[in-house]
């Protein structure tokens, strides 16, 4: 990841919000309502002007944008503007009850469309052409951008039982699919719940096929996702067309990439999650080299990962309902700006393909912000 890529996504996100404001203005003008004098509208424009100024300052040096202070200032301004726009659009909604909705928006690149899922606490952009991969994740209460790139993105590998060595076994097949698979379906859409289904065909090297199915659920309101979480979403995953005789060594790799809210690893902690809501006392060290953790290394198995950014008092869990095969993790430097640059961490959740082989053998992931 480079400073130019971060800046490109920031410019794209600014354009999405700008179009949202323009569309809202046009709809109100058509109904003979003038919102330009409202305090929330004026504040939104002020925050947008601050964000534009920060983008302009980094226009001659893309690497400047990966500096922690530059990124934080930009997203703080942009998401403050988003919150003001939310106030205009949802004037009659109790913030504690919230809302959940989605709309199609132009993708950052190409001619395809992404889905923008919006609640009062977060905005998430999903790419249906990549099986619902998360391209952007904005957390509004802290005014931080958590994801810039592909997360919730699957591939297959062949992995011995110790989980430490991978050999390509299956590869994604995302073009010229022989199966007519709709990019997504809306299973439920109400003011407080949204369920989207994504289906993606993956092809083996010998042209055998299976389909990765994911039901992604979003709920409105503080605490509606899980009782002990502020917000989040869940992803139920299974495989269609995977034979019962599939090798125990075939695993589904689900990639995640998070930008650290504080920007630096020194204040961040990773801990494995245990069964029955437990958290291990073992702390995982974030390093540039990839590390592996196998489920047999923990009593009762591995159920995910807790991430804590102590400098920001920010905590997030990736917890699964059934034990994982394992996971890998590593720290990634953003750009080339040295000690002041931002950092992100890459996580791969490793599922046994055999345990996901049909809709009676599923696993549900809960991403929860505490």
Q: What pLDDT score was predicted for residue 169?
A: 45
Task: Give the architecture-level CATH label for domain 116-369.
Answer: Distorted Sandwich (2.70)
pTM of the model: 0.90
Domain ranges of the chain: 3-92, 116-369
Q: What is the pLDDT of residues 198-251, one digit of tens each?
A: 998 886 544 567 899 999 999 998 888 888 888 999 999 999 988 878 888 888
Rounded to an integer, what distance in angstroms lies between the CA atom of residue 321 and that of residue 61? 45
Report the DSSP pairing between strands 291-294 and 326-333: antiparallel
- Cα angle 137, 118, 349 (rounded to 5 degrees) comes to 40
CA distances from 364 to 33, 353, 356 (A): 45, 14, 10
Rounded to the nearest 10 degrees, how much is the dihedral formed by the CA atoms of 242, 348, 221, 87? -120
Rounded to the nearest 10 degrees, how much is the dihedral formed by the CA atoms of 10, 73, 367, 348? 60
Q: What is the pLDDT of residues 19-70, one digit of tens each?
A: 999 999 999 988 888 889 999 999 999 999 999 998 888 766 655 565 667 7
Please tell me whether residue 55 adopts helix, strand or coil conformation.
helix
Q: What pLDDT score was predicted for residue 205?
A: 47
């Amino acid at each position: 990841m480079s400073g130019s890529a971060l800046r490109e996504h920031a410019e794209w996100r600014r354009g999405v919000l700008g179009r949202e404001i323009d569309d809202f203005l046009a709809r109100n003008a058509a109904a003979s309502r003038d919102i330009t004098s409202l305090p929330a509208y004026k504040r939104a424009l002020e925050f947008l002007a601050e964000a534009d100024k920060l983008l302009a300052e980094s226009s001659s040096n893309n690497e400047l944008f990966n500096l922690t202070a530059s990124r934080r200032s930009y997203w703080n301004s942009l998401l403050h503007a988003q919150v003001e726009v939310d106030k205009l659009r949802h004037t009659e909604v109790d913030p504690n009850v919230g809302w959940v909705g989605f709309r199609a928006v132009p993708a950052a690149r190409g001619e395809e469309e992404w889905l923008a899922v919006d609640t009062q606490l977060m905005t998430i952009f999903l790419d249906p052409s990549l099986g619902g991969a998360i391209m952007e994740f904005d957390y509004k209460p802290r005014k931080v951008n958590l994801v810039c790139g592909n997360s919730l993105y699957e591939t297959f590998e062949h992995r011995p039982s110790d989980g430490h060595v991978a050999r390509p076994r299956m590869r994604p097949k995302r073009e010229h699919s022989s199966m007519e698979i709709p990019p997504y379906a809306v299973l439920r859409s109400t003011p407080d719940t949204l369920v989207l289904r994504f289906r993606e065909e993956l092809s083996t090297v010998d042209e055998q096929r299976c389909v990765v199915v994911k039901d992604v659920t979003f709920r409105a309101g503080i605490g509606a996702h899980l009782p002990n979480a502020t917000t989040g979403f869940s992803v139920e995953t299974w495989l269609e067309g995977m034979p019962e005789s599939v090798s125990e060594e075939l695993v589904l790799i689900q990639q995640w990439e998070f930008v650290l809210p504080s920007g630096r690893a020194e204040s961040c902690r990773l801990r494995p999650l245990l069964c029955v809501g437990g958290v291990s006392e073992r702390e995982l060290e974030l390093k540039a080299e990839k590390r592996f953790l196998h489920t047999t290394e923990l009593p009762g198995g591995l159920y995910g990962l807790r991430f804590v950014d102590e400098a920001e008092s920010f905590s997030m869990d990736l917890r699964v309902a059934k034990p994982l095969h394992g996971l890998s993790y590593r720290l990634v430097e953003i750009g080339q700006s040295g000690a002041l640059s931002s950092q992100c961490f890459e996580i791969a959740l490793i599922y046994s393909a055999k345990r996901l082989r049909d809709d009676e053998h599923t696993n549900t992931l809960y991403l929860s912000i505490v």
